[in-house]
Amino acid sequence: MVDQDELRSRKDADGIALPDALSAHGVQLDSALEARSELEGAAAYLELHIEQGPVLESMDLPLGVVLGTFGVERHQVTFRGQAAHAGSTPMDKRRDALAGVARLELEIREIAKRTGQGAVCTIGSVVTKPGIVTSVVETAECLLDQRHLDRATLASMLQEAKDASQRFAQAEDVEVEWERIWNIEPILFDDGLIELADESIKEVAGSSHRLPSGPLHDAAEVARAGVPTVMLFVQSLRGLSHTKLEDTKPDHLELSVQALDKLVSKTIERVTG
């Protein structure tokens, strides 16, 4: 993080400041950013990260291997109908924009189910106008997020959602518009390193699982730069992320360090021949 001052103010559940926690393990916060220079000419990049999701916990597994990071398609979808009085407009005479969003929300869940292989679709925000209880919704804007590890499959998911929105717009006598907000291609990690990571986890934990990850990880940026990359996930307690409740069991942390140590040794052996 560029804002080092903000990091200096961070404390853990025991009140230990981040700089002090890092210093106890031989890392100085102010010089940590210089580590990026080590990537120049790197033979491999290995990362250990909390899962930030419920998959490993649901399988009762402490560790997993990350196959790569999701590609993402993120759009604003706007349905446009006609504002009308909520009390005097019969149900069959309404052009309710919110009905289009409601139907799309249910359909994207089915798209993700049909697609499988880790596919996820989310409508995380809906804004209606005029936004009052006495009016039929004239405009409904939603934010749609779709993710998959395969580029072609992600494109197919997007087209399915667009086709569905057109059907719903016609059925509700409204209009629909799409605007791309952001997208990113999937990043697949190194096959050979995935195998070594899988072996390392099995040696310390008995069982392993392969799963995809979200797109915003340092490992994805390194892999995009052409460095052979792999990531290990350690189970996220209660499957929670981006909350103060996010945590990892101490015994799982110990296993994760053991697995990473084995992976480092195997990778060095692979690189040096």
119-166 pLDDT, tens digit per residue, is 999 999 999 999 999 999 999 999 999 999 999 999 999 999 999 999
pTM, to two decimals: 0.84
d(CA 13, CA 250): 14
Average confidence score pLDDT of the chain: 93
Task: Provide the residue ranges of all domains of the chain, joining segments of one domain with +.
Answer: 15-69+187-272, 71-184
Could you name the CATH architecture of 15-69+187-272?
Answer: 3-Layer(aba) Sandwich (3.40)
Check residue 5 and give its pLDDT: 79
Asked whether the beta carbons of 248 and 50 are under 8 A apart, the reply is: yes
Check residue 1 and give its pLDDT: 47
Same fold for the pair 15-69+187-272 and 71-184: no
* Cis status of the peptide bond prior to 186, with omega within 30 of 0: no
Per-position b or e across 12-40, b if 16+ CB within 10 A of its CB: eeeeeeebeeeeeeeeebeeeeeeeeeee
Instruction: For residue 177, give every residue at least 6 positions away whose Cβ sits within 8 Å of its Cβ, in sequence order, or none.
Output: 77, 78, 80
Decide which of 14 and 230 is more confident. 230
For the stretch 196-246, pLDDT in tens is 999 999 999 999 999 999 866 788 889 998 999 999 999 998 887 777 888
Is residue 131 helix, strand or coil? coil
**Is 195 a residue whose pLDDT tops 70?**
yes
Per-range mean pLDDT, top range of 3-12, 28-37, 49-58, 233-242? 49-58
**Is 54 a residue whose pLDDT tops 60?**
yes
d(CA 36, CA 41): 11
CA angle centred on 150, ends 192 and 182, rounded to 5°: 120
d(CA 226, CA 98): 45
Residue 33, beta-bridge partner list = none
- Cβ-based burial of 111 (10 A; exposed 0-12, middle 13-18, buried ≥19): buried
**Is 167 a residue whose pLDDT tops 60?**
yes
Band of pLDDT at residue 29, cut at 50, 70 and 90: confident
Is residue 171 helix, strand or coil? helix
Q: What CATH number has the domain spanning 71-184? A: 3.30.70.360
